[in-house]
Amino acid sequence: MPPETPDVLREFRERALTEGIPPDDIARWTDLARPCAFLGTKGDGPVVGRLGGPLMLPADAPDPWCKLAATIDLAALPAGATDLDLPVDGHLLLFADPDPDRIGEGNLGTALHIPAGTPVEERPADLDPEWRNYPYEKDLPEGLLRLSTDVSLPYFTSVHASGAPSGCEPHPEHQYASELIDVWTEMPGEGVGLGLQLGGYAEDEYGEEDPSVAAGREAARAVARGELPPPDTDVRPEDWVCLAQWIHGLDGLEMALYSWSISRQDLAAGRFDRVYATMTWNP
């Protein structure tokens, strides 16, 4: 965990106690804390990547089917910045297709890891002139990404239940989840501008199920349709975690919450071809 984590969680506990949440429930919630890295366009932290920019790929890499959202220099990330089993070096490229008409219909992005020392060359960026087919879609944001570290707590109140009317039921182990989330969202913090949250928990505006677990279920259906490569080992939706959440600021889609997810097994195996991107939007 980042060195400032104990202070952040201590303040969170104190605020939660003043709201009348039982100490045992607070403790079970904070046990779920995950370290995360914020890669933002504001601040004075070290540069660890960039939003947008030139698309640098190995000569034999296929053209990506969607736009480059960010490039992360993995060697620039300090150990322990996240709880993700990321490669220690090379570059992680995240690609995005923030198309609201395809929400729930398929993968909205992809990812690629380029190992350190691999020769790369610039690839023409305008790969899909039909991409801007919505009045609110514009070029993806650009800018250097600077590192700050933080801690992340869940943003969901329910778990999947196929027999429930909405498909979800209240989390059986965290009856105060909604109140705990309210306390967390009111904690003071500095904005990072546009950028990424790397690791931690993804957020969506519905706040029901963990978005990464929901992405894992979508990914399993995509595998069954032949649209996503199968895993090397058994993977459950519960094994999926947030790779990154995108703070994009796209005009007209400001309230759309977009994230890339991956199973821990695929991450350990370097299977970035199985990354699954999702978005929620409630205009």
Predicted confidence band of residue 126 (pLDDT cuts 50, 70, 90): low
* Beta-carbon count within 10 A of 73 CB: 18
Phi-psi region of 184 (alpha: psi -120 to 50; beta: other; left: phi over 0): alpha
Q: What is the pLDDT of residue 129?
A: 45
As a whole-number percent, the residues of the chain with pLDDT over 90 amount to 76
List residues bridging with 152 in a β-sheet: 34
Higher pLDDT, 191 or 175: 175
Tens of pLDDT, residue by residue over 1-59, are 666 667 899 999 999 999 999 999 999 999 999 999 999 999 899 999 999 999 999 99
List residues bridging with 147 in a β-sheet: 39
User: For 179-228, what is the HEC assignment?
Assistant: HHHHHHHCCCCCCCCCEEEEECCCCCCCCCCCHHHHHHHHHHHHHHCCCC
Rounded Cα–Cα distance for residues 18 and 7 (Å):
17
Q: Is the pLDDT of residue 283 over 70?
A: yes
Six token digits for residue 142: 């650009």
Mean pLDDT calculated for residue range 199-217: 91
The string over 83-114, giving b where at least 16 C-beta atoms fall within 10 Å of a residue's C-beta and e elsewhere, is bbebbeebbbbbbbbbbbeeeeebbbbbbbbb
Q: Is the pLDDT of residue 166 over 80?
A: no
Q: Counting beta carbons within 10 angstroms of the beta carbon of residue 282, is it exposed (0 to 12), middle (13 to 18) or buried (19 or more)? A: exposed
Residue 183: CA count within 13 A, CB half-sphere: 24
Q: Is the pLDDT of residue 151 over 60?
A: yes
Please provide the average confidence, as pLDDT, over all residues in the chain. 90
Predicted confidence band of residue 189 (pLDDT cuts 50, 70, 90): confident
Q: What is the pLDDT of residue 120?
A: 97
